[in-house]
A = this chain, B = another copy of it.
């Protein structure tokens, strides 16, 4: 059993957000792998401006510092990432360095948020994270999960498992290397 800690960031606070159930599906998959995780809900860290303090930020920073890597689950809005997600990510810097990040993009249409994922890769790279391949693109989000809250499509489930394989490999490899340095 792994002792990695890989929290999942839910990157939208939009009323009716479909990404919430997708984020829970990822949390379930991580737990089935025996990996410690928790859901970081951007709605719990309400920010209106970059660089402003908020009481709940302290907890976010502690969680990010303790993490060995991250999953970000977020929808695509107008080909970009949600503003509330960017406000959260920009509130921290040092805690991200040399840690892998798996991106799960969500959309109601067919594209599955692939453009948002590319923008988020640029941002997470600037934050010194390592975006792993493949990213997971969840299209038709309303129908993506079955009754148990798992991915209904086996091909989507496969991609998500491969993403988590890579995330786990990088998280373990880079933690070893960070500790040795």
Contact = CB atoms under 8 A, between A and B. Distances in A.
Nearest to A51: B14
A118 B112 contact: no
Interface string A40-57: 000100111111100000
Please tell me the size bucket of the interface on A.
Answer: 35 or more
Contact of A118 (B15, B122, B133, B173): B122
The CB with the most chain B CB atoms within 10 A, among A83, A128, A173, A181, is that of A83
Interface stretch (A23-31, A58-66, A84-92): A84-92
A114 interface: yes
Interface of A: 12-16, 43, 46-52, 77-90, 110-112, 114-115, 118-119, 121-123, 125-128, 130-131, 133, 137, 139, 169, 172-174, 176-177, 181
